[in-house]
């Protein structure tokens, strides 16, 4: 089977993944952000934080959004440490974050042992203008490698800026990432290699990985979202006529 989805806690599931067995960690963790004050960030649900009042959807809440700043940094470091152990030498980590958690995410990545290589941006053209302020129209992808970059292993040239709107039609998760962006990002994993996403949500990273001929290991704590991810992964295999990619010419 080219994919495995675990239903449960990311740290617990990661402990069962063998050393040096995945090629790329590509993940979109709960940001534990979305508020000016500590009580706004820790006291509100994901739905309250990330869904605007005029949103045309009524999607399910998700867990893991109520850590304070210090414990978020600590927890993210643990996750990135376990993911580092599970990743092959010269493998890659791509971790989504927002402007508030950018410094914490770059700290956690490095504390976990990864070599920080840069930040790419996901630009959302349809974002809310804010009077008297600069628009927050980007989320960020902090990236790094386990040791040195081995360009011969995967000789790709990838952009540092991705523009796409959040899915509207057929959207199934509050913070769902556009599959077209994820399809570009999974190319950091060598063809036929394995992508790991310990916060799979609705399974977008996995769908992208399968579409691009990569294998996928995902973890999702919410039963509601794990069921959705399972269905989307299954459809990606059956409808997209999955074939493991060989080395790119």
Ligand X SMILES: C[S@@+](CC[C@H](N)C(=O)[O-])C[C@H]1O[C@@H](n2cnc3c(N)ncnc32)[C@H](O)[C@@H]1O
Question: Is 220 among the residues that bind ligand X (CB under 6 A)?
Answer: yes
Please report, as residue ranges, which positions from 190 to 209 form the binding site for ligand X (by CB under 6 A).
198-199, 201-202, 204
Q: 10 vs 94, which CB is nearer to ligand X?
A: 10
Question: Is 218 among the residues that bind ligand X (CB under 6 A)?
Answer: no
CA distance 184 to 18: 26
CA distance 4 to 226: 11
Q: Which two tokens stand for residue 39?
A: 């009580």
Sign of CA dihedral 127, 211, 198, 58: positive
Do the Cβ atoms of 22 and 217 come closer than 8 Å? yes
Question: Is 87 among the residues that bind ligand X (CB under 6 A)?
Answer: no
Question: Is 124 among the residues that bind ligand X (CB under 6 A)?
Answer: no
Question: Is 211 among the residues that bind ligand X (CB under 6 A)?
Answer: no
Stretch that binds ligand X, among 32-40, 101-109, 184-192, 219-227 (CB under 6 A): 219-227
- Let me know the angle formed at the C-alpha of 68 by 132 and 58, rounded to the nearest 5 degrees: 65
Q: 144 vs 198, which CB is nearer to ligand X?
A: 198
CA distance 87 to 89: 7
Question: Is 101 among the residues that bind ligand X (CB under 6 A)?
Answer: no
Binding site for ligand X (CB under 6 A): 9-10, 28, 30, 62-64, 173, 175-177, 198-199, 201-202, 204, 219-222, 225
């Amino acid at each position: 089977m080219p994919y495995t989805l675990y239903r449960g806690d990311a740290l617990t599931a990661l402990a069962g993944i063998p050393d040096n067995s995945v090629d790329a960690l590509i993940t979109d963790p709960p940001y534990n952000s979305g508020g000016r004050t500590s009580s706004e960030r820790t006291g509100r649900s994901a739905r309250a934080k990330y869904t605007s009042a005029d949103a045309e959807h009524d999607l399910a809440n998700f867990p893991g959004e109520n850590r304070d700043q210090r414990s978020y940094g600590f927890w993210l470091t643990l996750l990135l440490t376990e993911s580092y152990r599970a990743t092959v030498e010269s493998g890659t980590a791509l971790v989504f974050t927002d402007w508030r958690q950018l410094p914490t995410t770059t700290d956690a990545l490095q504390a976990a042992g990864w070599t920080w290589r840069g930040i790419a941006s996901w630009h959302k053209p349809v974002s809310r203008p804010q009077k008297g302020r600069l628009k927050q129209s980007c989320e960020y992808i902090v990236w790094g490698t386990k040791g040195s970059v081995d360009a011969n292993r995967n000789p790709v040239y990838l952009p540092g800026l991705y523009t796409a709107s959040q899915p509207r039609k057929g959207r199934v998760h509050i913070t769902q990432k556009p599959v077209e962006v994820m399809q570009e990002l999974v190319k950091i994993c060598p063809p036929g290699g394995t992508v790991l996403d310990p916060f799979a949500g609705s399974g977008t990273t996995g769908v992208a990985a399968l579409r691009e001929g990569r294998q996928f290991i995902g973890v999702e704590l919410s039963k509601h979202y794990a069921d959705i991810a399972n269905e989307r992964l299954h459809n990606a295999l059956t409808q997209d006529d999955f074939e493991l990619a060989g080395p790119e010419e």
